[in-house]
Amino acid sequence: MAKRKIRNLFRNAQGKWCIDITVKKRRVIRVIGDDRREAEDALTLIRGDLLRGKLGLGTSSKNVLFKDFAEKFLSTYASKKRSYRTDRTAYNIHLKPYFGDAFLSDIKIERVERYQAERQKETTRRKTPDGKPMKTSGPTINREIALLRTMLNKAVEWEYLDASSVNWRRVKKFNENGRERYLTADERERLFAALDNSGPILRNFIILALNTGLRRGEIMGLRWANVNMDDGLICLERAQRKNNKVLRVPLNENALEVLRHLPRASDYVLCDPGRGERVLSFRRAFATACKKAGIQDLRIHDLRHTFGTMLNVRGVDLPTISSLLGHSSITMTSRYITPILEIQKRAVDSLVDAQEPERKKDEGPAGGSLDDDRKPVYIQ
C-alpha cells in the first residue's frame, strides 16, 4: 500500500527527500537524504522551530558571495560531472558577470527573470542563413538557469544558505521545440565531395556518425576496447554515456569498412596517426567542409538527427530507433526524427484505397437525395 502524501515533503530529480515549507512568511528548503522517515522527522522539527521563531533565517548566507560559493561548487561537486567543462564555461561567461558579486540570499526570482531577459537580447557566434548573428536560444538559457538552480539548492544542502529565495516553480522555461535539421541525400553527396581535401579523419567521423547515431563526444572518446569487430558491435559503458546507461550499437558494413582501415596507433579509434593522440575537435574543419559544399545551418549534432530520420524513412519503428540512439524515452526520440513531406504525402495517399464505400445506388433519378438509412463508412 502506497504511503500517503505529506504536504511540504517531496522527492527531487535525484530521488532525495526534500522539505519546502513556509511559516509566517519564512521559507525553508532543505535536501534531507534517501530516508523518508528521516525527512518526516526533520520536517516536524523545522516546522516547530519556525512556529517558535527559533530558526534564524538568512544569517549564514549574508556574508557568502555567489562567486565564492560557485568556485567551491565547481571544484568539488561539478568537477565529477561529465558536463563540467560546459558548466564551467556557462558560469565564467554568463552567470559570474551577472550574479557573481551578489550574496546568495540576494538572488531572488526578479533577478533571475531579469537575467533571462538580458540573455535573450545577446547574440552568439552562429549566423542565420542570411548571415545575421543568431540570438541566444531558449534551450541555452534554460541550461544556464538549471545550473544556477543546482548551485543554490546545493548551497542550502551544504548549509551556506538557510533557504533559497527563489521559488523555482514560478520561473518560466523557454519552449524547447525539437530542431528540425537533417542532411538530405543531395546534401550528403555534396558534403562528401567537399571532404576530399579535408583528410580522412573528418570523413571517417562523419561516416561513423551517420551509421551509428552516436554523439560527437561518444565517437571522439571511442576506444578500441569498446569495439567488437567479430560481433560487429560497439559497447559504451555507463561512464562514457550522457545518461549513464550502457549502450550497444550494431555496426553495419559502412561503419565496419571504416574501422577495418583505421590504424591502431592509439587506444582511441579516431586519433592523429602521426602523434598517436586522440582528436579533440572537428568544429572548424566541419564548418569549412559545409561552407565548401554550400550547406547552411548544419551542426555536428544534426548528424545524429539524420541517423534517426533515415531509419524512420526506411520504416524502422520508433522503439527500435530509440534503443539505437540510447534514449530513456520515446518522447525524446520523436524530437530527433524530422517529418519529411514526401513521406507524409505517401502516407496520406495510402488512405485513398481504404475509403471506397459500398454505396447504395439510388433507384430515383440521378442527383436524388441519399437514403436515410445509409450507414457511414469509417477508415479502418
Q: What own/partner pairs with CB < 8 Å and gap ≥ 24 does 69-78 have? A: 69/104, 69/151, 69/155, 69/160, 70/95, 70/96, 70/100, 70/151, 73/151, 73/154, 73/155, 77/154
Per-residue model confidence (pLDDT) at position 313? 83
Show the CA angle centred on residue 298, arms to residues 185 and 320, nearest 5°: 60
Q: Tell me which residue of 37, 35, 44 sits closest to 16, measured CA to CA.
A: 35
Domain 66-170 has CATH 1.10.150: yes
Q: By three-state DSSP, how is residue 265 classified? A: coil
Condensed to tens digits (0 to 9), the pLDDT of residues 20-44 reads 887 766 677 778 888 888 888 778 8
DSSP 30: E
Q: Tell me which residue of 140, 139, 135, 138 sits closest to 125, measured CA to CA.
A: 135
Per-residue model confidence (pLDDT) at position 24? 62
The C-alpha atoms of residue 203 and residue 225 are separated, in whole angstroms, by 22
Per-residue model confidence (pLDDT) at position 375? 41
Taking the model in full, what pTM does it have?
0.59
Per-residue model confidence (pLDDT) at position 277? 74
Per-residue model confidence (pLDDT) at position 85? 86
- Residue 232 CA neighbour count, 13 Å, CB half: 10
Start and end residues for every CATH 1.10.150 domain found in the chain: 66-170
The C-alpha atoms of residue 241 and residue 218 are separated, in whole angstroms, by 7
What is the mean pLDDT for each group of 10 consecutive residues in the chain (380 residues)?
72 82 73 82 76 52 81 87 86 93 90 93 76 83 93 86 81 76 87 81 91 89 90 84 80 92 86 74 86 87 89 86 84 72 68 58 46 39
Q: Tell me which residue of 206, 138, 128 sits closest to 174, measured CA to CA.
A: 138
DSSP string across 92-104? IIIIHHHHTTSBG
The answer to whether the CB of 132 falls within 8 A of the CB of 192 is: no
Beta carbons within 10 angstroms of residue 209's beta carbon: 23
DSSP 168: G
Start and end residues for every CATH 1.10.443.10 domain found in the chain: 185-341
C-alpha cell at 353: 484505397
C-alpha cell at 275: 602523434
Helix and strand counts by DSSP (H, E) for the chain: 15, 10
Beta carbons within 10 angstroms of residue 333's beta carbon: 21
CATH architecture of the region 185-341: Orthogonal Bundle (1.10)
Beta carbons within 10 angstroms of residue 341's beta carbon: 7
Per-residue model confidence (pLDDT) at position 45? 77
The C-alpha atoms of residue 241 and residue 214 are separated, in whole angstroms, by 10
Which ranges of the chain does DSSP label H, i.e. alpha helix? 36-52, 66-76, 84-90, 96-99, 109-121, 138-157, 185-194, 200-212, 216-220, 253-260, 283-293, 302-313, 318-325, 330-334, 341-349
Q: Tell me which residue of 150, 156, 159, 161 sits closest to 77, measured CA to CA.
A: 150
The C-alpha atoms of residue 21 and residue 50 are separated, in whole angstroms, by 9
